[in-house]
Amino acid sequence: MATFVDRVVLHATGGDGGHGCASIHREKFKPLAGPDGGNGGNGGSVIVEVDPQVTTLLPFHHLPHRRAASGTQGMGDHRSGSTAEDLVLAVPDGTVVKAPDGTVLADLVGAGSRYVVAAGGRGGLGNAALASPRRKAPGFALLGEPGETAEVVLELKTIADVALVGFPSAGKSSLVAAISAARPKIADYPFTTLVPNLGVVQAGDFRYTVADVPGLIPGASQGKGLGLEFLRHIERCAVVVHVLDCATLESGRDPVSDLDVIEAELAAYSEDLEVAAGGVPLVERPRVVVLNKIDVPEARELADLVRAELEGRGVPVFEISAASHEGLRALTFALAERVAAARRAAPVAEATRVVLRPRAVDDSGFTVKRREGGGQVWFAIRGEKPERWVRQTDFANDEAVGYLADRLARAGVEDALYKAGAVAGDEVRIGPDENSVVFDWEPTLLTGSELLGGPRGSDVRLEDRSRPTRGQKRREYTERMDAKAAARAEMWTEREQGVWTDPDV
């Protein structure tokens, strides 16, 4: 069973907002004392937050679908619905939130860093909040908005000061176990380490962390072996330590060739990495070469032979034995010096700035475009406000539909339709193509609160109350008189034929 997971797909859904309430206050001697419907509560949001006590994404591997609680609906007597609590998901430090297409949405570094994955829906307004001097007692309320649905990828990039890289069975796990309290799995076969191991090293009064990355092989940057899955864990390290096996029994391998291969793989992997402001590229970070397993006589001799060549490349070389702990003290203090220097050179973290981006003066907040497809022509309306207003409208209530018409007209949607070339009877769609509200546009409909004299829950603009003209009345009267004359003639004919007097007929 997996105990370490560093990449998961999270399906998050925010809570729905509660519906508003349409209620009229009633008491003795005051049967209609005004609207008192409360607002619906807001739905909870799904938030990921860095928790220093969490080290793996395993909980999201088992439960990838997470949904926040919904708000409750409003009630009469001005009682608003309760707002649901946010669903806060703890993630390890160094978690990167990405969109399914690979776009980085957030890089969570530091305890308390958070990102809203799926926002909760807004609660609907009750009829008390919708009342106005002309609409004194609305017979409707707004519906709560559904919560957002999002699918994101969570990737864990271990935050360690020192990264140990090298071929399988080079002794990286043994080195971590020797210089820290970590106890990784150690065995004499390749790819014993299947997941990164993290250890804390104490060098005098200085403390730093060391990460053991699973063994790399030629082609790791292209996906061979296990290296590609875990190379991301060295992106944030300050010092790269090459652990070279001086006692390998494989033919064609030696410490110098192993170093060249691993350096080439790191260079190939770092080509696609973005360097943060003030950061140092991966290939330019401090390097340290460790010649391991010198407790073996042949390995000590090989280390003495290659030491001068490696030092000629300008990198410090340390000969150690993870088994006998020879040379470990000097190595730990040398790494502490380089980590301390990297921390001093790191840019000072600045407080997060709040960036205000006001809307442009000529930005109406929506767009109207003429669309064609399948032999049909329609006008698509997209925008945050129109789509939100549609989601809040109860289309079973005529007064609510009239209120929506008022809001769209005040926002300038009708004028925009005129400019786009729409005429009466054209099809209009508000929202995305897969889930839009479709209606036939009737620009002759009047809008305004002065036409709200009908019963609550109704709108006279949606009823056929047109008065007939004088010509229509004359035609109706003529048709009615002609029908009466024809009926009298038919009855007289039947009477003359004895239909009414002869009992046999």
Residues making up the annotated binding site are 166-173, 191-195, 212-215, 292-295, 321-323
Closest CA relative to residue 137, chosen from 127, 147, 124:
127
Secondary structure E strands in 352-448: 366-373, 376-383, 427-430, 437-440
| Rounded Cα gap, residues 343 and 334, in angstroms | 15
**In terms of DSSP H, where are the helices of 217-327?**
227-230, 255-270, 297-311
- The DSSP bridge partners found for residue 79 are 75
Q: List the 239-245 sheet strands across, edge first.
A: 197-203, 206-212, 162-165, 239-245, 287-292, 317-319
Q: Are 421 and 370 spatial neighbours (Cβ–Cβ below 8 Å)?
A: yes
Q: How distant, in Å, are the alpha carbons of 65, 262, 378, 413 from that of 434?
A: 23, 50, 14, 21
Q: Which residue's structure tokens are 């649905």? A: 149
Q: What is the CA radius of gyration of the chain?
A: 38
Q: What separation, in Å, do the N-terminal and C-terminal C-alpha atoms of the chain show?
A: 97
| Rounded Cα gap, residues 11 and 152, in angstroms | 7
Please give the structure tokens belonging to residue 278.
């003030």
- Non-local (6+) Cβ contacts of 38 within 8 A are 20, 21, 23, 74, 75, 76, 77, 78, 79, 80, 81, 126, 128
Task: Report helix, strand or coil for 221.
Answer: helix
The crossing angle, in degrees rounded to 10, of helices 172-179 and 328-345 is 90
Q: Are 165 and 239 spatial neighbours (Cβ–Cβ below 8 Å)?
A: no
Neighbours of 139 (CB within 10 A): 21
Q: Which residues are annotated as a binding site for Mg(2+)?
A: 173, 193
**In terms of DSSP H, where are the helices of 295-364?**
297-311, 328-345
| Rounded Cα gap, residues 404 and 387, in angstroms | 11
| 149 phi, psi to nearest 5 deg | -120, 130
| 451 phi, psi to nearest 5 deg | -110, 30
| Rounded Cα gap, residues 394 and 400, in angstroms | 6
Q: How distant, in Å, are the alpha carbons of 140, 387, 439 from that of 397?
A: 7, 18, 16
- The DSSP bridge partners found for residue 206 are 203
Q: Which residues are annotated as a binding site for GTP?
A: 166-173, 191-195, 212-215, 292-295, 321-323
